[in-house]
Structure 1
Amino acid sequence: MEKVDQIEKVQNNTAGNAGKALTREELKAFFDRYFQVKAFCDAAALRSSMPEDLQLRCREIKAQYEALDLDCITMASCKSIQQLYAQLAELEKALEPYPAQEVVVLETDDEAETEFDNVEDDAIRRNKRRALRLNVAVAVIVLGAVAGVLVLLVPVQWVQNAMGCIYYYGRVGEVDYTEAERWFRKAAEAGYAKAQYNLGMCYDTGHGIKQDYVEAVNWYRKAAVQDHELAQLALGICLEEGRGVEADYAEAVRWYEKSAEQGVPEAQYRMALYYYKSEDEPNHFQKAYRYFKKAAEQDHAQAQCRVGRCKELGLGTERNWVKAEEYYRKAIEKGDSKAQYYLALMLTDSKFSDKDRLEAADLMRKSADSGNSDAQYELGRFYEEGIGVKKSRKEALRWYIKAADRGNKKAQEAWEQLVPPVK
């Protein structure tokens, strides 16, 4: 999943609106309160001889809590939360005469209860059941779930995978890959697709366990057949590269397509590359462009560069240099060196001004500095011909040599022409 701390993100986004963002501890307290409210209101339905109006009030308060969105929850001055707390206090007092029955709020087992019982937060922990709920609340917070989609019954495998993520990314405390792998394995062996993907990732990277590409493929495949979109992408990459499995590009493409259909931008980009190179495929440029465009719309830098290239050359779409420049610049904002290279070349066209050629030289230098051998060759040519820079045979030779050292044949030829061998 992809990897941003939702709490910090929301705190930053809402601080200006609310005057003061909630602390992590306050967020934890709210989510723990949220689970209490749900359990309390569900338990109310089991109270003996409870008046109908109180039953209705329980349902209303529960519905109001479930309707809260994340922005509302994270605003310290939110009146809705304060009002709900007040209403809940009144309801709790009204329900005191009616005996309550226990309500199970989490699917669990003895092992999970024992292990979760070791997680302490003295401010809100009261007993084993509440300690279990706290673990879910912490997992919800660090993984960025919203109150509107939380449910009363949470599968143990969900919690195990969430705890694995907490340790893997260091959301609460230090990163601990060994603990992460242990939690992922519990859920993965029970058939939980997200955990199977995460366990595959541990084997793939060697985080928390000895690196084993064969095992990585094994767990990726288990998750992929359950339609886990990132596992489908990961399995496709392994098949394309022959990592942990015999290389099979045709099968890789089938998995890329499944992942792309679920909206994964990297999978869409790889499908675009497949069609771009498939000259025997009817309308292959049009199909490639459609996939490039889908990935580009999700801020995939390489796809944005490719859309720019298609627009510049009219491949699979109408030629449009204004749009080409727009997409190149989007990719450049993300540091894409290919986009710097292509836009630099485009700006040297006679349609553009001397000022544009100055920018072209600057962009080409940035791309060359990143190690792009094509850009290194072109920058050498810029110096040789004086495009956007002062002519310099010495600088031209320097950049030709850099590119030639990286295997660029054009640079090798240019170098030999600039400095003919001694006979």
Structure 2
Amino acid sequence: MEKIGSGIYCKVESKLELAMFRCITSLLAWTCLIGLLASARAADWQGDPNVEYKKGHYELALRGFSSRAWEGDEVAQDNLGMMYANGEGTPRDFQQAAVWYRKSAQQGYAPAQRHLAGLYENGNGVAFDISAALECYRKAVAQNFVPAQRDMGILLSAAKAGAFQDLDTAKILLTQAKQHGDPIAEERLEAMQMQANEQAHAQRLQQDPLADLRARAAANDAESAYQMAVAYARGQLINENWQEAERWYQKAANHGHAAAQFELGLEYSSGKHRATDYVEAAYWYRKAASQGLPKAANNLGALYDQGYGVALDRTQAAVWFSKGAEGGDADAQFNLGSMYWLGHGVQKDIGRAAHWFLLAAQQGHSAARQKLAYLYSNRIPLPAEVTQSQVWAELARESAG
């Protein structure tokens, strides 16, 4: 006979039956003990943990959620997991968070499935496992849980997803979340679109480095057309092609771009890449000079001085040299100085000539410096502006040396 409890006996026929009997009684005892503990936990808490949590009474909330979680409440289990994950009312413990998230997730609670996925995604409290994270997200997404749609979409769009990265699925999930008013999903979609645009743009530039410039130039932007011409003329980012360069110079010039007009004038006057045509050169130089481009004024003055493409007229030459010189062009300053030196188109005036030679020499114009050296060596009286200049002092040192 074996005693079961107080005053209760049971007849046992064999040793095997005795062993089984003792095992069963032990299980019954443990079951009763667990029940008593759960009852004690429940009896120990009478308040609402949600209310206490909102008040910031985290220790009380933790006790309340813990009591309910032990009773199998999936919402309380998820809340308890969050408190462990956030370190609220208890030291942060991702492993305990994972335990309670998993218990809740196994009951099909979508928020807990999402939270458990987040732990796998970041390797907090569990091993880093993108596959496991996605599996948890899928279960929550299957319940149309919007935060899970968003988070799974973000993960699938991220590089850390590795082989699991799926931009198309990510876009679908984020769009679904956006349609439910999720602002983070909307921001992520915008970021993905921006990234896609940047990648497409980079690919276009690899195929055609001048793609952006070409598009603006084709839309009649004069500066872009000019830059296209320069790129073709100099072989920058693209093979040198003077026919294309001239085409873009022409387009920019037709839209009033002074530098492009000058380049066309230079092409017509140099005859380097096309037949020389001084009439056309004068036409384009005049266009550019009339917009205040000093080097164009100088070149137009040179045509008048030589009678190329226009009637020889040194008075007009001096006028245009003067415009270029006043605009700071060193060649025009030297040429105007030469006109005063020779008395061509203006009254001869060595002092004025020296003035313009000095300005040109100060910009490194070697021919102008030679003219000043001649004046120095011949002790020709000159204005103080010239004789007190740094250039004049340098000439004196060179002469003494």
Determine if the TM-score, normalized by the shorter chain, exceeds 0.5. Answer: no
Higher relative contact order (CA 8 A, sep 6+): 1
Taking structure 2 as the reference length, the TM-score comes to 0.44
Relative to total residues, which structure has the larger helix share, 1 or 2? 2
What TM-score comes out, normalization by structure 1 length? 0.42
